[in-house]
Amino acid sequence: MSARREPFISSHRVNMKRRSTRSCISILAVTFLATIAPAQDRFTLSPYAKSRAFIVGKDARDRAAAGEAKKASPALIKKPWLAAWETVASNVLTWSVDRYLFNRDYSHVSPRTWIANLKAGFAFDSDAFITNFLAHPLHGSVYFNTARSLGMNFFESIPYTFGGSLLWEEFGENTRPSIDDLILTTSAGICIGETLFRLSSQILDDTASGRDRFWREVAATIVDPVRGLNRLISGDWKRVMSTNGQLREPIHGSVAVSEKLVMGNSGTSNPVSSVGIEFDTVYGQSSEKVVARSPFDLIVLSAEVRYRERKIYGFANAYALWIGKQSFTKGGQRHLLGLFQHYDYMKIELFHMGGTSLTGGLISMFPLGNKFELNTSMQLGPFLFGASDNRYTQIAQRDYNYGSGATLKLDAWVSHPKYGALMFKLNHFHIFTLEGVALEANESQDFLTTLGVYYAVPLWNSLSLRAEYVIYDRHIHFHGPAPESIKESLAGVSLDFRF
């Protein structure tokens, strides 16, 4: 959604826009806000969470309530044409702000620029990394939830996300349409949008009234603004129902304050201290033996923000189930086989990367006796589209290469209510460059790996102490320069509050 490139109608003028990116702190905040809603079941997909059942299932009571409420609640009636108009209106509003409030160069559009864009076709842009991989996905979530909040189901909301982004690329700017914006706004917008919709549903309660109802509506609007606006317009902000028609799933996780030492070259350089805040949340786990699964009834979120030497580092990783099937054994084992969508954003000292993946995965729980449990998660699939930073070249705001490749994620942890949890975690991304920031980068490959060991021990009630050691490894293979291998490690402790 941003201008980036040389305008098509003026090949001699570089028009890189410095568009302010939307704040991403809200992504972290909504995870905590959503937990104010009560949950009937707890779970242990997070090794730092309180131990209960493992695999996810629909809450039958809430689904029945949703079905009853649907007969009476206007908000659940499908309004496809209104959703289409609101999608267009959101683009017009964004363009109006850019054009008349900030007078951005790229916002000076006309029928001439529209025709030029339609003839030019798509190209890669050169926006700042955070713009493409955080701001655009957030805007995509607005398109998605415009439809979602007007009665469209998950799959019916996807065309609105794609259509909103396509309209902006062709008609909202005077620069050549960006293929990376279209991909990221759509794919990541779906992931973030459905996550925000689900979390806002945890807060909303159609049976509440008075002050409790007011603050629930306010909190839900902070989580999902477009949904809150549509509820206000339709009157659902104050409409009291006999049953709660919101999608509800158990939600659980932890929030932590951490102190970490960052060491370059596997610890050979002087350690540098950093402080941070972490969130680890799972939505959707329950003990119900439900075999069939629906999109996003399992969502796993992890995020960290660290401050070091006046710079901000961190990551936001999320994955959600699209389709899946559960199985259970007489010995108490539980297995979930499914297709998962991932969105990863990492800005750490060693590298920057972001992108979306689609993996096949198997999540399992094995009871070991004496209250010990072994949990595993194995996921492998294509890294559909993303980028990693280019250490050698920067042109304007762009210092990264677009690419695709493969994603591998392996987790395993042993947990006990008294002795805590020991976890091993491996993430690996193999990225082949599709379009480099410079011509020589087009034949490059990037291998990004994180390997971590964590141990959390309970202290008192919901508090636990966690120690961790993480190794970051990067192998760069560029056309021309010799392959380069660099490493960095991180050791730290944190105080976790489990909810």
**What is the DSSP pairing of strand 299-308 with strand 311-328?**
antiparallel
Q: Which among 44, 40, 59, 55 is positioned nearest to 325, based on CA atoms? A: 55
Sequential DSSP letters for 53-85 = B-SB---HHHHHHHHHHHTT-GGGS--HHHHHH
Label each residue of 407-453 as H, E or C: EEEEEEEEEECCCEEEEEEEEEEEEEEEECCCHHHHHCEEEEEEEEE
Of 258-272, 302-316, 384-398, give the lowest mean pLDDT range.
Answer: 258-272
* Average pLDDT of the segment spanning 295-305: 92
Contact between 230 and 149 (Cβ < 8 Å): yes
More confident residue, 482 or 477: 477
Q: With 50 as the cut, is the pLDDT of residue 325 above it?
A: yes
User: Tens of pLDDT along 18-62?
Assistant: 343 333 333 333 333 333 333 333 334 444 443 333 333 334 334
% of residues, the chain, pLDDT over 90: 63
Q: Which residue has the higher pLDDT, 237 or 454?
A: 454
Amino acid at 34: A
C-alpha–C-alpha distance, residues 420 and 333, integer Å = 20
Q: Name, in order, each residue with C-beta under 8 angstroms of 204's C-beta and a sequence gap of 6 or more.
A: 216, 217, 220, 244, 246
At residue 6, the pLDDT reads 39
Cα distance between residue 128 and residue 16, in whole Å: 10
**pLDDT top residue among 99 and 479:** 99
Q: Do the beta carbons of residue 312 and residue 287 sit within 8 Å?
A: no
- Write out pLDDT tens, residues 220-275: 999 999 999 999 998 998 899 888 888 888 888 899 999 999 887 644 467 889 99
Q: Is residue 477 classed as helix, strand or coil in its secondary structure? A: strand
Question: First and final CA of the chain: distance in angstroms?
Answer: 37
Q: In which element (H, E) is residue 307 found?
A: strand 299-308
Question: Which residue in 413, 490, 406, 492 sits closest to 451, CA to CA?
Answer: 490
Q: DSSP characters for 132-169?
A: IIIIHHHHHHHHHHHHHTTT--HHHHHHHHHHHHHHII
Q: What pLDDT sits at residue 327?
A: 87
Give residue 436's pLDDT: 84
**What pLDDT digit, counting tens, does each position of 164-221 carry?**
999 999 999 999 999 999 999 999 999 999 999 999 999 999 999 999 999 999 999 9
